[in-house]
Structure 1
């Protein structure tokens, strides 16, 4: 899952990169984010590992679980089906899929994240590769999924979507979650200061953290809801559902800018359910 929602710029301290909004292309975004996730994978798993579990399929900081959501279909229908998880991190979702009898393959740009998948007991294929150039043959999978993986961080989401469509069989389903686009208009703060609009929703300028030499070390890309829908259609998918999870009463945790306060007022996550006809 994403580390943050980027809505504003600020000067970094000597120990922190500078946050800004500027253009960032495909290669720069991939290089920056591979490095960021390799450097921060350990901290990320310590901070969020308990919430994610070792073998749960959690779609978002709201805590929507595939057990209840069944966005990939009923669990009893997953057995024997090849599934590609994109931006898998420590592959907790793939572990859950394997427990249902599916045949998952977990792909991530970060080698260090996949080492955590080995640590928690992954027994299925782990692939370190870019989502924009999937190393699989056409029509290799029945299903594909991505819980905050890849799509928020790539400069060309259509490239990724077309690659996913290529490796899916006709009738295959791709489900992916991203930060809800409306969140880009608000500061990334869990408290009351995160409830006032601070930026234009229509400003697609990427959020970039850069070092003293101006090299990007972390990049997130903003797409409006309309952009996401057009990307999906342009890539050849059919959008069959858009899920905006509400904040559940049991979830009292904060995750970056996600919190019960904000979650009860504005959506934090958008989940797109797509079919390859």
Structure 2
């Protein structure tokens, strides 16, 4: 989950196109993790590259609001996560843990939330994690006896999943073109993955519905849409509306030549509901986690001050009939 200067967003674990030639069946993987699962903290291990102190600093990207289509968004975010995966895991690996299922910065844990079902009900279930990053959620699911597949945009993020370990497949592929057969999974989940970063969320939702079995459930979390109206500041300055909630123009960071290097897309709460309905899924719950007293951390624009006053995360619980 990336903190930034843009109003109210954090980024997490998106998914990309990389293996559309793969067999369309559960378990197809561009990489498979070694069979080990650890609870060690995520720290600077050999796979994480130390910065080159003599390398000239790259110019700061320009932040703007402009249109960005499906291909441009995927290309930009794939590159961003490959470049920043090491730093992200160093900064946030301890909070995320190696085998915890966190729905967002508030710290809501699937152990408590049970949005995918009671832990004992997960045993033997085929589960697709979309935008898995280092596959922390998949690792927790595997510990419950589920059969997860972790899918992500970034090859570098999946290398971190390999570093931490696990006995489940890793797939580098696009959330809008899932390389699995129809009806391959009982459950699907995404903790801040894919949906905030794609130009066409209905494409992703239709793909998720396709690979779910009848009665299957898809749960995904995103930054709460109301955050787009507020500046991304943790203090009192982040409590005053500074932009239109109804402005759906994407947030783009671009290089000196105007090429997008990072993109996020805004959908209102109503847009999200309509996207779910249009994809053929049924919305059964909308969870807005409250900021817990134990969480004293500040993370970009996330803080106890803001968290106690305005929602930061929206979790959509959907089912396929």
Q: Which position in structure 2 is the counterpart of 1:137?
A: 181
Matches within 5 A, 1:21-60: 21-60=65-104
Asked if the contact 2:187–2:217 (Cα under 8 Å) also holds between the matched residues in 1, the reply is yes
RMSD: 1.2
Residue aligning to 1:191: 235
CA deviations 1:86-132 (Å, max 9, x no partner) are 00000000000000000000000100000000111122100001100
* Other-structure match for 1:202: 246
TM-score by length of 2: 0.83
**1:135 counterpart SS class:** coil
Aligned pair partner of 1:68 in 105, 112, 115: 112
- Distance in 2 separating the partners of 1:209 and 1:266: 26
Q: Are positions 1:93 and 2:147 aligned together?
A: no
Q: Give runs of aligned pairs for residues 1-277 of structure 1, distance below 5 A.
A: 1-4=1-4, 6-7=6-7, 15-277=59-321
Distance 1:4 1:127 in 2: 27
CA distance in structure 1 between the aligned counterparts of 2:275 and 2:287, rounded to whole angstroms:
17
Q: Tell me the CA shift for residue 7 of structure 1.
A: 2.7
Question: 2:25 — aligned with what?
Answer: none
TM-score (norm 1): 0.97
Q: C-alpha separation between the residues in 2 aligned to 1:129 and 1:2?
A: 21
Q: How far does residue 15 in structure 1 lie from its aligned partner after superposition?
A: 2.4
Partners of 1:240 and 1:258 lie apart in 2 by 27
Runs of at least 5 residues in structure 1 that lack an aligned partner in the other structure: none
| Alignment check: 8 A CA contact 2:2 2:88 kept | no
Cα deviation, residue 6, structure 1? 3.1
Q: Distance in 2 between matches of 1:37 and 1:81?
A: 29
Q: Per-residue deviation at 1:3?
A: 4.0
Q: d(CA) in 2 for partners of 1:118 and 1:98?
A: 15
Equivalent pair of 2:229/2:241 in contact (CA under 8 Å): yes
Across the two proteins, how many residue pairs are aligned to each other? Answer: 273
Would the aligned equivalents of 2:3 and 2:301 in 1 still touch at CA under 8 Å? Answer: no
Helix, strand or coil for the counterpart of 2:199? coil
- Alpha-carbon distance in 2 for matches of 1:192, 1:156: 34
Task: Tell me the secondary structure at the aligned position of residue 205 of structure 1.
Answer: coil
Structure 2: unaligned runs, 5 residues or longer: 9-56
Structure number with the higher helix fraction is 1
Question: Structure 1 residue 161: deviation in Å?
Answer: 0.2
Tell me if structure 2 keeps the 8 A contact 1:2–1:152.
no
- Counterparts of 2:184 and 2:110 in 1: how far apart (Å)? 23
